[in-house]
Structure 1
Amino acid sequence: MRWFKYGTFLLILLLAVYAVSMYFVPEKKSYTFEKEVNYPVEKVFPQFNNLKNYTRWHSYFSENNNFSIDYFTPYEGQGSSLSYRDKKDEDNFGDLFIRYENPLKTLRYQLFEGENSTPYLIDLKFKNLQGKTHITWYIHTPKQPLLKRSLNLISEEDLAAQIDKSMKNLAGVLANKVDREKQRESLKFDSLIIEQQSGQLLLGINVSTKNEKNSLFKNIVMNHNKVFNYVKMDLGKKDDEYGEPLLITNADNFKDKEVSYYYGIPLSKRISVSDNNFSFRTVNPAKSYVIYYRGTYTGRIKAIQQLLSKAKEDGLRTGDLQQTFLEEPSDENSTVMKLSLPVF
């Protein structure tokens, strides 16, 4: 009984010391960080107001491969949101919202952690500086009652380190994106050229579907999302760890009532894959006749016929046609792709 009294007294004493120490901790805190990115604001802002883009480079999300993330429409701008949950830590979950947007100038996020009903407020201000973007982060922690103020002891150094790491990731993403855009601008569309193509290792799925104007492209979009989500979400691959999606099919099956194709995404190496719907496929290096095409998806047929005609004229055997989507397939009336026909 005496030990119980001593234990109770000690517990009360510790609570009292804790309460007194928390009295000196602010009920909420604010931090300001200023960063600069070497890209114009029109390139930088979409990486913040599109939450799918945001989670690819922000270190809080990109470094945790156990996060399961659900995105909700609209996927960008004011009103967009996401929910995240750690598959290995049931106490680590939350919701992120974009509450306000002034395009190319300001954004306001609200971040709810766990069951906390009071959010973090994150305000961002963007300023264009001669081709560079100056970003000011204003982070406000939730107001906490006396006994929970220890949650506001988050270190400014830790926050600064997280933002620094995120900014480096963002710079890498933008570098890849801008480089691709510059390469795209230099392409000559609708001209037949010869390229020596390197080999690739693809991870994807085999598909058979009807060759009808609307249903074929819808089927491609559906399978693109399926493969992309598996590589990105389930396998946790970052932007610089995979290449542009590739559809492989028989070159002249556009005349058939049913089309069989393989849709895959290039990876740097083989990894363990638990889902039997997905398989690896190797594309060997080859000399190829190539046409860069931009237009409706059905309009590609004329370019394919041009490739086949050239190979026949030169007396060469042909391999499977490769359709590399240079822009994500989403609109049947506006596609950008590289059509490659290996020749022997």
Structure 2
Amino acid sequence: MRWLKFGIIIVLFFGAVYTVSMIFVEEKKNFTIEKEINYPIEKVFPQFNNLQNFTRWNSFFTDNKNLSLQYFTPYEGEGSAMSFRDRKDEDIYGDIFIRYENPEHTLKYQLFEGRKNTPYQIDLKFISENDKTKIIWYFHTPKQSFIKRSLNLISENFWVNNIDKSMKNLYHVLENKVDKETQLESLKFDSLIVEQQDSQLLMGINVTTKNIKDALFKNIVINHNKVMNYVKMDLGKKDDEYGEPILITDADNYKDKEVSYFYGVPVSKKETITDNNFSFRTLNSSRYYVIFYKGNYDGRVKAIQQLLTKAKHDTLRIGDLQQTFLEEPTTDNKTVMKLSLPVYK
């Protein structure tokens, strides 16, 4: 009985201490974090106003492999939105909205977590400084009840650590992106070259669609998004864990009314696939006739004909044509691609 009384006194004591201390803790908290990154603002801003880009480097999302992400149109700028949910912990879920955008100057996010009705307000300001960009984060935390007010004591540390890790991730993303852009600028387009290419393992999807007007390219964009979402969200692959997307098809089927193709990305090894729509395909090491092409997708036909003519002139057998998208296909129908035709004696 004595120990019970002693326990009650201890609980009441600490409860009183907590109550008194929480009187001096604000029900919500505002703080500012400043960061600088060594890339120009035109490279940095698209990583923030496009939520699909944002989730690829922000450690709030990359550190949790169980998160399922869903994006909503428009996919960038004011009005865009996304939701996240932990597949193993039903208490971890939320939504992010971009409420305002002043391109290359300002963004305003709202972050709703779990059952909370009051969001985090996160305002970002971008300042161009030569070839660098200063990013200022203004955080306004949601109001906390008196019982949960102690969370405001740790919220700033959480976001500081999150942004420190995220900015390192962003630097590596931009480093790879800029390197790729430099390589693309040095390419010589529309000239036929010969390459020996190593074998590759692709994970992707088999498709059959009509080849009329823009229907084929629109179908490619749709299936590109399907493959990338599965690779990133379901398989949890980061940008450096898969290669550039490749479309495999008969070399001369551009003349057909219906086209069948395989669309996939190179991966390092086979792993369990839970969706029967996806499968693996191996590309064997071979000698290739190659042309780099830039322009509308329909314009690739001339380059394909050039490859076929060269193979016929050299009396060589051919395999399936590989179309590697060096820039991901988008709805504007502009492509940068590598057309590779395997040839054999």
**Cα displacement (A) at 1:202:** 0.4
1:157-236 matches, cutoff 5 A: 157-236=157-236
Between the aligned partners of 2:25 and 2:10, the Cα distance in structure 1 is 23
1:326 aligns with 2:326: yes
Unaligned runs of 5+ in 2: none
**Cα displacement (A) at 1:116:** 1.4
Question: Cα distance 1:332–1:93, how it changes in 2: closer, same or farther (>3 A)?
Answer: closer
Between the aligned partners of 2:197 and 2:297, the Cα distance in structure 1 is 23
Three-state SS of the structure 1 residue aligned to 2:152 is helix
The C-alpha deviation readout for 1:211-239, integer Å capped at 9, x for no partner, is 33333223222221211111111111111
Between the aligned partners of 2:313 and 2:303, the Cα distance in structure 1 is 15
Aligned residue in 1 for 2:114: 114
Three-state SS of the structure 1 residue aligned to 2:309 is helix
Three-state SS of the structure 1 residue aligned to 2:143 is coil
Three-state SS of the structure 2 residue aligned to 1:47 is helix
- 1:110, 1:122 within 8 Å by CA — same for their partners in 2? yes
Between the aligned partners of 1:173 and 1:142, the Cα distance in structure 2 is 31
Three-state SS of the structure 2 residue aligned to 1:184 is helix
Deviates more, 1:163-172 or 1:120-129: 120-129
**Cα displacement (A) at 1:179:** 1.2
Three-state SS of the structure 2 residue aligned to 1:75 is coil
- 2:304, 2:339 within 8 Å by CA — same for their partners in 1? yes
**Cα displacement (A) at 1:12:** 5.5
Aligned residue in 1 for 2:280: 280
Question: Cα distance 1:331–1:100, how it changes in 2: closer, same or farther (>3 A)?
Answer: closer
Question: Cα distance 1:87–1:147, how it changes in 2: closer, same or farther (>3 A)?
Answer: same
Aligned AA (2:223): N
1:132-143 matches, cutoff 5 A: 132-143=132-143
The C-alpha deviation readout for 1:71-124, integer Å capped at 9, x for no partner, is 222221122221111111111111112222221112221212112122212121
1:36-51 matches, cutoff 5 A: 36-51=36-51
- 2:197, 2:287 within 8 Å by CA — same for their partners in 1? yes
Three-state SS of the structure 2 residue aligned to 1:91 is coil
- 2:218, 2:331 within 8 Å by CA — same for their partners in 1? no
1:87 aligns with 2:82: no
Question: Cα distance 1:206–1:183, how it changes in 2: closer, same or farther (>3 A)?
Answer: same
Between the aligned partners of 1:237 and 1:34, the Cα distance in structure 2 is 30
1:93-104 matches, cutoff 5 A: 93-104=93-104
Aligned residue in 2 for 1:301: 301
Aligned residue in 1 for 2:58: 58
Between the aligned partners of 1:100 and 1:333, the Cα distance in structure 2 is 28
Aligned residue in 1 for 2:341: 341
Aligned residue in 1 for 2:123: 123
Aligned residue in 2 for 1:243: 243
Aligned AA (2:294): R
- 1:209, 1:258 within 8 Å by CA — same for their partners in 2? yes
Between the aligned partners of 1:104 and 1:214, the Cα distance in structure 2 is 33
Question: Cα distance 1:88–1:209, how it changes in 2: closer, same or farther (>3 A)?
Answer: same
Three-state SS of the structure 1 residue aligned to 2:92 is strand
Between the aligned partners of 1:219 and 1:125, the Cα distance in structure 2 is 38
The C-alpha deviation readout for 1:294-316, integer Å capped at 9, x for no partner, is 22222212211110100111122
Between the aligned partners of 2:63 and 2:14, the Cα distance in structure 1 is 37
- 2:80, 2:97 within 8 Å by CA — same for their partners in 1? yes
Aligned AA (1:296): N
Between the aligned partners of 2:283 and 2:238, the Cα distance in structure 1 is 22
**Cα displacement (A) at 1:57:** 0.5
Between the aligned partners of 2:134 and 2:245, the Cα distance in structure 1 is 33
The C-alpha deviation readout for 1:172-231, integer Å capped at 9, x for no partner, is 111111111111111122111222223211001222233333332232222212111111
Identity of aligned residues (%): 69
Between the aligned partners of 2:100 and 2:276, the Cα distance in structure 1 is 43
Between the aligned partners of 2:55 and 2:178, the Cα distance in structure 1 is 19
Question: Cα distance 1:157–1:13, how it changes in 2: closer, same or farther (>3 A)?
Answer: closer
Question: Cα distance 1:332–1:117, how it changes in 2: closer, same or farther (>3 A)?
Answer: closer
Three-state SS of the structure 1 residue aligned to 2:117 is coil
Three-state SS of the structure 2 residue aligned to 1:147 is coil
- 1:297, 1:332 within 8 Å by CA — same for their partners in 2? no
Between the aligned partners of 2:126 and 2:210, the Cα distance in structure 1 is 48
Between the aligned partners of 1:332 and 1:156, the Cα distance in structure 2 is 42
**Cα displacement (A) at 1:3:** 9.9
Between the aligned partners of 2:332 and 2:339, the Cα distance in structure 1 is 16
